[in-house]
Amino acid sequence: MKKILLGTTALVTAGLLAGPALASDPLKVTVGGNVVTGFYFVDADHVGGTASQDTKVALVARNIDIKAEGTLDNGLVAGVDAKLQLGSDWNANNVQNGSANFRQLFAYLEGGFGKFEIGGTDGAAYKMHYTSPWFVPGNGVDSPNIYNGVSSKYGYNNYSSSPEVRLSTFSLMATDSNKISYFTPRLAGFQLGLSYTPDAQNHGPSENGLVLLPKDYTNNPYDYNNINQVFEIALNYAGTFGGVDVGVDGFYTGGNAMNNVNADPEEYGLGANLGYAGFTLGGAWYQSNDLDYKYGISYARKDAGAEVWTVGLKYATGPWTVGIAYLDGQDNSDGGLGNYRDGRESQTVQLGGGYNLGSGVDIGLDLQWASNQHNDSWNSTSYDTKSGGLVLAIAF
């Protein structure tokens, strides 16, 4: 899943000056990235007659980040941000293992007016969201990079290692798709963000700008990514009261269903963080309507939906971080979609922490308890997993 982006969008205070731009120094280019690895011991229930692996090596969040930024002579800050994803180990059907793709690529301008972003990136609802804290290096319960739960899946081999229930409180309807976003300056602690995505069918900066795509160019009404005209609005607050750091947000995302699908896909979310004396208490709530989400892709589907909530507590002192967090995901799809959609639910508890060895190198302990249930009358089954692993995360 995606790397968590918490809190606010930083804005510079430089003003927008009238007149032509003067000659400026070239933008400064930096290259970095991150890799998260983990070795886990896993004790999981069998799914039918199929046993899960009892050890696991995870290799996730493997990105190369290329950034160019500079301050122009008229005071504007301009930049380009490119995130190169080095393959994917969660769904080889979408991204071949060993491949490299630009997951995000966008340009931006900042000034006293706020910040504009245009290109393939996450929207305002995603970037301005608060949620339960991450305390294990590179992993958490909300949008986990490493998830060790198992569940049944009606389809290929009747089994899958991917969760059937949504495990994120973030807006993912148009994640990474080409869009335009605007963030206001932060005034009295408040900031407003708006995003518009003409076409959410292609996640990532894939269009080359040479043609206009037809409004309906897929045949199956339930093909993945059958959403366009996505609008996002988010508002958050960041401030300090009596030594307590406060962050709160709310967002709404709405899209247009294509191919004559009778659906109105939408997402709602709330989040909050409180920080004091090294402690961070955080949580979030999310709900979607007429929206399905599988294998990292959102698509419009009448009467599909989900509700997710999470809460967590983290304590950090010096190089040490410890914490505990919980996430509950519930499929709220209407029974008219078929009994296989009724009552799916997932719970995850994470306990652990990390230690910073220096220079962007963190090592941590990750303990997970995951449960996936089908609560419908004909298949009331629960699949439980306990796992523990050593995580090594390196940012460069």
* Residue 150 vs residues 55, 234, 326: alpha-carbon distances, Å: 14, 34, 17
In the predicted model, is pLDDT for residue 224 greater than 90?
A: no
Q: Using pLDDT thresholds of 50, 70 and 90, give the confidence band for residue 20.
A: very low
pLDDT for position 373: 83
- Of residues 76 and 379, more confidence is placed in 76
Q: Using pLDDT thresholds of 50, 70 and 90, give the confidence band for residue 319.
A: very high
DSSP element (H, E) containing 126 = helix 124-127
Buried b (16+ CB within 10 A) or exposed e, 115-150: bebebbbbbbbbbbbbbbbbbbbbbbbbbbbbbbbb
pLDDT for position 47: 75
Q: Maximum Cα–Cα distance for the chain, whole Å?
A: 72
* Backbone dihedral angles phi then psi of residue 46, each to the nearest 5 degrees: -75, 145
Which residue segments constitute the domains of the chain, with CATH numbers given?
28-395 (2.40.160.10)
pLDDT for position 332: 85
Structure-token pair, residue 289:
């309507």
pLDDT for position 135: 98
Q: Each residue of 235-280: pLDDT tens digit? A: 999 999 999 999 999 999 999 998 778 899 999 999 999 999 999 9
State which amino acid sits at residue 172: L
| 8 A C-beta contact, residue 66 and residue 31 | yes
Query: Cα 72 from chain centroid?
Result: 32
pLDDT for position 337: 55
User: Residue 303: left if φ>0, alpha if ψ -120 to 50, beta else—which one?
Assistant: left
pLDDT for position 102: 87
pLDDT for position 10: 39
Q: Which distant-in-sequence residues (6+ apart) come within 8 Å of 68 by Cβ?
A: 27, 28, 29, 30, 79, 80
CA distance 171 to 122: 9
Using DSSP's 3-state secondary structure scheme, residue 295 falls into: coil
In the predicted model, is pLDDT for residue 11 greater than 50?
A: no
